[in-house]
Amino acid sequence: MRELFGTDGVRGTANTHPMTAEVALRIGAAAGRYFRRDRSAAHRVVIGKDTRLSGYMFENALTAGFTSTGMNVLLLGPVPTPAVGLLTTSMRADVGVMISASHNPHHDNGIKFFGPDGFKLSDEAEEEIEDILRSEIQLASAANIGRAKRIDDGLFRYIERAKSTFPNDLRLDGLKVVIDCANGAAYRAAPQVLWELGAEVIPVGVSPNGTNINQGCGSTDTRSAAEAVVAHGADIGICLDGDADRVMILDETGTVADGDQVMALLAARSASEDRLAGNTLVATVMSNLGLERHLAGLGITLHRTGVGDRYVVEAMRKGGFNMGGEQSGHIVLTDYATTGDGLIAGLQVLREMVQTGKRASELAHQFTPVPQLLKNVRYAAGAQPLEAMAVKAAIADAEVRLSGAGRLLIRKSGTEPLIRVMAECEDEGLLEEVVDGIVAKVSEAG
């Protein structure tokens, strides 16, 4: 049973259980023992991080844990999450680790694991690591303690990989691009890639100080980037989150296009070129009903999964599909990367602009979304608001009222103590009534 691991690794407030240096050290040791089963060979782990102040603490703690079980550690420093997936495979590592809480504020942090194939670990692997964690961890002998080494060119390897996903015969000359890096992991890589491809780059959120990651910038707060797009007369804005595995696109007016719109654009192009495997796009239950209807009109199947990019990727691998993602901006293109990559997804949108000569506003708004309302309700530790009879009754009533007219989704966040209440319905009055009714009962119970 997984107790520490959520939908995207281990996550929480830094210096508060489970995100303490002590727990991180033990997680590193347990993961080291799990991956170091074949003791006849050398074993290695690559560790990357974003720009959070607490990243230094967790980097050192994980290094101590891994080396204590005989793993050699390769330290990448601040790099995007997809760079860890890439370098885990290219450096022939047994495991990759990204220290990041993604889009969360600076006081949170997290630990994400990648297997030797560059993909995030399965639930089963995480359960085995937790089993080891609960027992006495067998340490390496003094002669077999691992070593740690800084890798200075990891970021530049990722930059070259990102550039390689953009056609060699195309350039971004003449395009003015706002790139918002959320004061996070891509603050160096993303502007460099765009500049080398010929764009006029207007950087936003590229001055990390350890505590300003995702603060008033990035994919979760696009206002600063939108202001920059309008002020500079830019052609497009690309907004990444703290670890650069998510993206939101802004058109030339500063209007936001979310992950659903980006997936609709890229899926249609890939299908037209016979490059969309299985003629299927994989997305989560959170993706808008309008996306599903739009794709159906193009003869493209939408395969839905549970919330979390790892579940999108698992469904893609199982079905042999090569494109998927989330409304929140995770865009997974397994032809290029093993996890969501906001920069690479942004480059594919730019490719469409260059090849078609169309403006971002013509490309980034592919369908009219069905009205959707999402509200988050925070609950106290240990509370089980979804078990309350009043909450169950409110949900049942909402389902009856939406029957045939929309859909309802209630779920616990896998990373925070939140209940997420989401509904879709053409009747916006009814939409607000059902969501607010459930939110009120959840608040009372939590």
Q: What is the pLDDT of residues 305-350, one digit of tens each?
A: 998 898 999 999 999 999 999 999 999 999 999 999 999 999 999 9
Contact 265, 276 (CB under 8 A): no
3-class DSSP state of 326? coil
Domain 372-445 carries which CATH code? 3.30.310.50
Give the model's confidence band at 260: pLDDT under 50 very low, under 70 low, under 90 confident, else very high.
very high
Q: Does an H or E element contain 249, and which?
A: strand 247-250
Give the model's confidence band at 374: pLDDT under 50 very low, under 70 low, under 90 confident, else very high.
very high
Greatest CA separation found in the chain? Answer: 69
What is the mean pLDDT of the segment spanning 57-61? 98
Give the model's confidence band at 446: pLDDT under 50 very low, under 70 low, under 90 confident, else very high.
confident
- Which among 102, 219, 224, 287 is annotated as catalytic? 102
pLDDT of 192 reads 98
The verdict on domain 259-363 having CATH code 3.40.120.10 is: yes
Domains in the chain: boundaries: 10-152, 157-236, 259-363, 372-445
What is the mean pLDDT of the segment spanning 125-147? 94
Would 157-236 and 259-363 be classified into the same CATH topology? Answer: yes
Is position 102 annotated as part of the catalytic site?
yes
**86/81 Cα distance (integer angstroms):** 9
Q: Given a cut of 70, is residue 233 above it in pLDDT?
A: yes
Q: Given a cut of 60, is residue 406 above it in pLDDT?
A: yes
The verdict on domain 157-236 having CATH code 3.40.120.10 is: yes
What is the mean pLDDT of the segment spanning 26-53? 88
15-24, 28-37, 250-259: range with lowest mean pLDDT: 28-37
HSE-CB of 352 using CA atoms within 13 angstroms: 25
Cβ neighbour number for residue 122 with a 10 Å cutoff: 12
3-class DSSP state of 265? helix
**169/334 Cα distance (integer angstroms):** 22
CATH C-level class of 10-152 = alpha beta
Is this structure's pTM higher than 0.75?
A: yes
